[in-house]
Structure 1
Amino acid sequence: MESNTGIQGDELSPLANLDEWETDVLRRYPDPAKINEDKKEEEFRNYQATEKDGVREFYRLNHHYQTYDFVLEHKAKYLSFDKKEMPIWDAFAFLNQLVDDSDPDTDLDQMQHLLQTSEAIRNDGHPDWMVLVGLIHDMGKVLCLFGEPQWAVVGDTFPVGCAFSDKIVYPEFFKDNPDYNDPRYNTELGVYTRNCGLANVHMSWGHDEYVYHMMKDYIPEEGLYMLRYHSFYSQHREQAYNHLMSEHDHKMFEWVKLFNPYDLYSKNPNQKSWEELKPYYEALVAKYLPPTLKF
């Protein structure tokens, strides 16, 4: 079984900060409202032309080490939720330790990004549970503070246990993944059956899967799909895994597609202060979540 043994230092954190991955996503999938109609769609997906060494190295590590066994190992390790217990507000303070003061592009902490997403959802009149999804969708990044490398926390997600799609960013790096040549895992269906449904599919490990399991007893199914699959770009942007999707998955992915623009494109430099927003969000959290959460 592959692990991250032997990887040390900078190899664990090739990105300057976790937001660098989301910035790269924006290069590949820019805001539709800002696309020049004279430019072809494939030109916007030319991430090779704008790549950064850190992003490329990030995906090299991600695609090498995200194996079927790695995912099962990390589910066993983290889904027992026995690492820490705290109120959600303490978790946000914990998450803000990820802020990188050397980042020249933003001085927003993680909490401010989450508030921008949730406020954009609220301002558009969506259900309050979706506002909560906006607030908590990146909370799983606390995995970095439990010692997980960046490539096991963020990044585009994808199924493991079957062939890797060439629609995933930097697909050439999968050639170094042990599953790539393993006959159990390198066919179209691998360990799965056709249209088995994503509930039966193991996704690459990261903050999406982690926060989904944390929240699955508390919010509606539509919101759980948003949490679990908001980084699954090879499906909700490229339709690369229709052969694993059930009819129910396709229906629920309309909610994932509704959510993603708020995550990617709702950066507001004039965000209200936390003091102004605090009463609403304290009431919202109390409505859906218990006083403390297990991590």
Structure 2
Amino acid sequence: MTVIIQQPELLGYQEEDKQAPLSDDDVHELVLDGEFVVPETNSFGHTFRDYNAESERKNTVEEFYRMNHINQSYDFVKRMREEYGKLNRAEMSIWECCELLNEYVDESDPDLDEPQSEHLLQTAEAIRKDYPDEDWLHLTGLIHDLGKVLLHPSFGELPQWAVVGDTFPVGCSFDESNVHHKYFKDNPDYNNPSYNTKYGIYSKGCGLDNVMMSWGHDDYMYLVAKENKTTLPPAALFIIRYHSFYPLHRCGAYRHLMNEEDVENLKWLHIFNKYDLYSKSKVRIDVEKVKPYYLSLIEKYFPAKLRW
């Protein structure tokens, strides 16, 4: 299999420059001789991540981002991290959590309206075909969205705007590459001089570990995996925490906050993102056929029961 990755540092823009949006042929796209082929359209016949396409999902998705951008303030994120970081909501296995997602559809997603459990297996199986020897990446595909369990009544039944959607740093200015950026004007941080500059409360090269991201399933699952002492590699935790950080891995925004470790881990996120985004389809996975394989990976990298 041939994999060609054009890395961000080779694209010619500087950290201090205003990053222009990158095309699909730039940062995140791969050329593969493997099994997975990028489809031309999503489940609704439109190009992927087209937030302006007239479809049955357009109004729902835009309203989602309006609420998300108004409410995801620094104080809100800090409060959510403190509350959910206690991991005192439930004790269950990874697979039990997968099954809880059968009843949820992501309102922020313009590309698919299937239950989240379907998307998890589609992502994992697409990765498995092209990277048969990277079992940690297969498992990362399976669990990357498990934080969406926050929608469940046992976890407070949070509104979708506090669980799904593209993520972004809080505590600094909202980059214009964020989807439906116009709605940030009603966020309480928008006019706060402590938070509305390029660096805000951060410094150049401080590292994404030191940056507060908008609250949702990404950050929650990262906390669950880390605090339950998973043996997955650091790149897996990076993927879990930042896979919805599209302003960074699609548009090159916020790179001034990254350190060298982030740059290295971003290479794996670019690989993962293709499968996360383009594997969405109406094609069903035979759960019982693949379940034993993924149970073996869960046993390898996680304890039998996790605190959530």
Class of the TM-score when normalised by the shorter of the 2 chains:
0.7 to 0.9
Partner of 1:48: 52
Partner of 1:144: 151
Change beyond 3 A, Cα 1:120–1:203: same
Three-state SS of the structure 2 residue aligned to 1:73 is helix
Instruction: Give the Cα–Cα distance (whole angstroms) in 1 for the partners of residues 77 and 64 of structure 2.
Output: 17
Cα deviations by residue, 1:201-251 (Å, 9 ceiling, x for unpaired): 000000000111111221110111110111101011111111111122112
Three-state SS of the structure 1 residue aligned to 2:174 is coil
Aligned length: 258
Cα deviations by residue, 1:155-213 (Å, 9 ceiling, x for unpaired): 11000000110111111111100100001101111100111110110000000001111
| Residues 29, 45 of structure 1: 8 Å contact kept | no
Matched AA of 1:115: L
Instruction: Give the Cα–Cα distance (whole angstroms) in 2 for the partners of residues 174 and 47 of structure 1.
Output: 17
Change beyond 3 A, Cα 1:53–1:186: same
TM-score of the aligned structures, taking structure 2 as reference length: 0.77
The answer as to 2:127 corresponding to 1:121 is yes
Instruction: Give the Cα–Cα distance (whole angstroms) in 2 for the partners of residues 58 and 108 of structure 1.
Output: 17
Q: What are structure 2's unaligned runs of at least 5 residues?
A: 1-22, 30-37, 42-46
| Residues 118, 285 of structure 2: 8 Å contact kept | no
Partner of 1:3: none
Change beyond 3 A, Cα 1:200–1:99: closer
| Residues 65, 180 of structure 2: 8 Å contact kept | yes
The counterpart of 1:228, out of the listed 223, 241, 245, is 241
Partner of 1:131: 138
Partner of 1:248: 261
Partner of 2:169: 159
Partner of 1:184: 194
Change beyond 3 A, Cα 1:83–1:158: same
Change beyond 3 A, Cα 1:226–1:126: farther
Instruction: Give the Cα–Cα distance (whole angstroms) in 2 for the partners of residues 107 and 190 of structure 1.
Output: 37
Q: Which moved more, 1:118-127 or 1:105-114?
A: 105-114
Instruction: Give the Cα–Cα distance (whole angstroms) in 2 for the partners of residues 214 and 173 of structure 1.
Output: 30
Partner of 1:202: 212
Partner of 2:274: 261
Partner of 1:278: 291
1:162-177 equivalent positions in 2, closer than 5 A: 162-177=172-187
Instruction: Give the Cα–Cα distance (whole angstroms) in 2 for the partners of residues 199 and 120 of structure 1.
Output: 29
Instruction: Give the Cα–Cα distance (whole angstroms) in 2 for the partners of residues 93 and 191 of structure 1.
Output: 39
Provide the identity percentage.
Answer: 51
Cα deviations by residue, 1:2-30 (Å, 9 ceiling, x for unpaired): xxxxxxxxxxxxxxxxxxxxxxxxxx979
Instruction: Give the Cα–Cα distance (whole angstroms) in 1 for the partners of residues 139 and 49 of structure 2.
Output: 31
Three-state SS of the structure 2 residue aligned to 1:80 is coil
Matched AA of 1:79: G
| Greater RCO (Cα-Cα under 8 Å, separation 6 or more) | 2
Change beyond 3 A, Cα 1:270–1:78: same
The answer as to 2:35 corresponding to 1:65 is no
The counterpart of 2:221, out of the listed 211, 214, 219, is 211
Three-state SS of the structure 2 residue aligned to 1:181 is coil
Three-state SS of the structure 1 residue aligned to 2:202 is coil
TM-score of the aligned structures, taking structure 1 as reference length: 0.80
Cα offset for 1:45? 7.5
| Residues 29, 44 of structure 1: 8 Å contact kept | no
Change beyond 3 A, Cα 1:241–1:126: farther
| Residues 122, 131 of structure 1: 8 Å contact kept | yes
Three-state SS of the structure 2 residue aligned to 1:71 is helix
Cα deviations by residue, 1:133-171 (Å, 9 ceiling, x for unpaired): 001011000001121100010011000000110111111
Partner of 1:8: none
Q: What are structure 1's unaligned runs of at least 5 residues?
A: 1-27, 37-42
Cα offset for 1:86? 1.1
Instruction: Give the Cα–Cα distance (whole angstroms) in 1 for the partners of residues 290 and 138 of structure 2.
Output: 13
| Residues 166, 245 of structure 2: 8 Å contact kept | yes
Structure ranking higher in helix proportion = 1
Partner of 1:15: none
Instruction: Give the Cα–Cα distance (whole angstroms) in 1 for the partners of residues 163 and 133 of structure 2.
Output: 28
Instruction: Give the Cα–Cα distance (whole angstroms) in 1 for the partners of residues 128 and 172 of structure 2.
Output: 38
Three-state SS of the structure 2 residue aligned to 1:160 is coil
Partner of 1:39: none
